[in-house]
Structure 1
Amino acid sequence: MVRLLLVPFFFMVFLTGENDVVAFVLFALAASTDWLDGQIARRTGTVTEIGKAIDPIVDRALIASGVLGLYLEDRVPLWILLLLVCRDLYLLGGASYLARHRAGRIDVVYIGKATTMLLLAGFSGLILNWPLVPGLGVIESPALPGWGSEPVAIWMWFVYAGVVTSVITAVIYTQLGRARMRAVRAKAVAQ
């Protein structure tokens, strides 16, 4: 998993603040290998259960390092960091609960893939913090970059879209997990 190896290198380079371009290249390379890994595995028929299990974990590590680095560099507000990290911990807890009760694994849903794509694209662009677009001028708050009059990197809007879809996916995965647990309980009662 090349992506997992790139995460600490990206994080160190980005936090030194000396070369956003190198940090961008490392992050974008890690993000693009996600797509490339999947394509190669599907086309060569080498999709494995362990790969399906590890892939989302590596995605989460990359997203966590990206959002944490961007927060520490003051490019995303704290609430985005907290929401994304708490959502991932919540889903990890749910997956652990399902595994403990032998309810099986829930496959990634399409909107979950879209969420990952939006966040990875948004974070990649925010690392460079370019191009800037005018703010909407709706509400002046440092907690809502882009909604005030200050210019913001256009990629912030990708992050906002990814945050919205991440909440939606948390609801979807919760519903799928509950359905799995109902099936497990029904099977136990039937035996």
Structure 2
Amino acid sequence: MLTVPNLLSILRLAGVPLFLWLLLGPREDVWAVVVLALAAISDWLDGKLARWLDQTSRLGTLLDPAADRLYILATAFAFVVRDILPWWFVALVFLRDLAVTLCLPLLKRAGYDAPDVIYLGKAGTFCLLYALPILLLAQIGPGVAMIAGPIGYGFAGWGLLMHVWSGALYVFQCVQAARHPVRR
């Protein structure tokens, strides 16, 4: 349970309140980007270490995507408060994650484990996790905004599209699995 990769995921989760405070309190955007970048590096590192040290665990497979989702939702929420992203963007991200989460008990009842993460979902998360710090950098000043803004919004648009589409695929898989429960 207390493996190096899991500890990295726990530290990443602990960084969310600091990140939100930096965004919404003193509006220290540069420091918020640093926290977000460290979270992204630890996200990459915990997966690499888990495989390299052969320390994959069920807890790790739950913590890692939970930390990703929490950073995405927390950042998106703060960006709505600061008028960086529209409210409907956050609503779509939240509703997708809620729909996938609500499918899990249905799958359990039918005798299945949670579905494996699909590449489309990983790609969507990748784009969203890259869009957010770039959009935050765009807040630093007009010169940076001219370059970072279009790149950040491009990543955000593609990330949202893939995130929602992968959620629809997960829900479809869940409904199909629930129609054919495992016989014991």
Report the TM-score range of the alignment, normalised by the length of the smaller protein: 0.7 to 0.9
Between 54-63 and 78-87, the greater mean CA deviation after superposition: 54-63
Per the TM alignment, residue 153 of structure 1 is displaced from its structure 2 partner at its CA by 4.4
Residue 7 of structure 1 is aligned with which of 16, 22, 31? Answer: 16
Residue 51 of structure 1 is aligned with which of 30, 40, 60? Answer: 60
On the 8 A contact 1:27/1:124 being kept in 2, the answer is yes
> For the residues of structure 2 that align with 1:4 and 1:182, how far apart are their CA atoms?
36
On the 8 A contact 2:19/2:36 being kept in 1, the answer is yes
**1:178 matches 2:167:** no
**1:165 matches 2:162:** yes
Per the TM alignment, residue 61 of structure 1 is displaced from its structure 2 partner at its CA by 0.8
On the 8 A contact 1:133/1:154 being kept in 2, the answer is no
TM-score by length of 2: 0.85
> For the residues of structure 2 that align with 1:96 and 1:12, how far apart are their CA atoms?
34
1:124-135 → structure 2 map (5 Å cutoff): 124-129=133-138, 131-133=144-146
Runs of 5+ consecutive residues of structure 1 not aligned to the other structure? 135-150
1:80-159 → structure 2 map (5 Å cutoff): 80-129=89-138, 131-133=144-146, 152-159=149-156
Task: State the SS of the aligned residue for 2:180.
Answer: helix
Pair 1:77–1:162, CA change in 2 (3 A):
same
Question: C-alpha offsets along residues 84-104 of structure 1, whole Å, 9 cap, x if unaligned?
Answer: 111111111112322344321
More helix by share: 2
**1:71 matches 2:84:** no
> For the residues of structure 2 that align with 1:100 and 1:4, how far apart are their CA atoms?
29
> For the residues of structure 1 that align with 2:12 and 2:75, how far apart are their CA atoms?
13
- Equivalent residue for 1:143? none
> For the residues of structure 1 that align with 2:117 and 2:15, how far apart are their CA atoms?
23
On the 8 A contact 2:110/2:177 being kept in 1, the answer is no
Pair 1:49–1:125, CA change in 2 (3 A):
same
Which structure's relative contact order is higher, taking Cα pairs within 8 Å and 6+ residues apart?
2
> For the residues of structure 2 that align with 1:108 and 1:116, how far apart are their CA atoms?
11
CA RMSD of aligned residues (A): 1.9
Question: C-alpha offsets along residues 72-121 of structure 1, whole Å, 9 cap, x if unaligned?
Answer: 11100111011111111111111232234432111111111111110010
Per the TM alignment, residue 156 of structure 1 is displaced from its structure 2 partner at its CA by 1.0
> For the residues of structure 2 that align with 1:100 and 1:8, how far apart are their CA atoms?
34
> For the residues of structure 1 that align with 2:151 and 2:145, how far apart are their CA atoms?
6
> For the residues of structure 2 that align with 1:179 and 1:54, how far apart are their CA atoms?
26
**Structure label with greater radius of gyration:** 1
> For the residues of structure 1 that align with 2:87 and 2:124, how far apart are their CA atoms?
19
Per the TM alignment, residue 44 of structure 1 is displaced from its structure 2 partner at its CA by 1.2
How many residues of Structure 1 are paired with residues of Structure 2 in the alignment? Answer: 171
On the 8 A contact 1:111/1:169 being kept in 2, the answer is yes
**1:28 matches 2:37:** yes
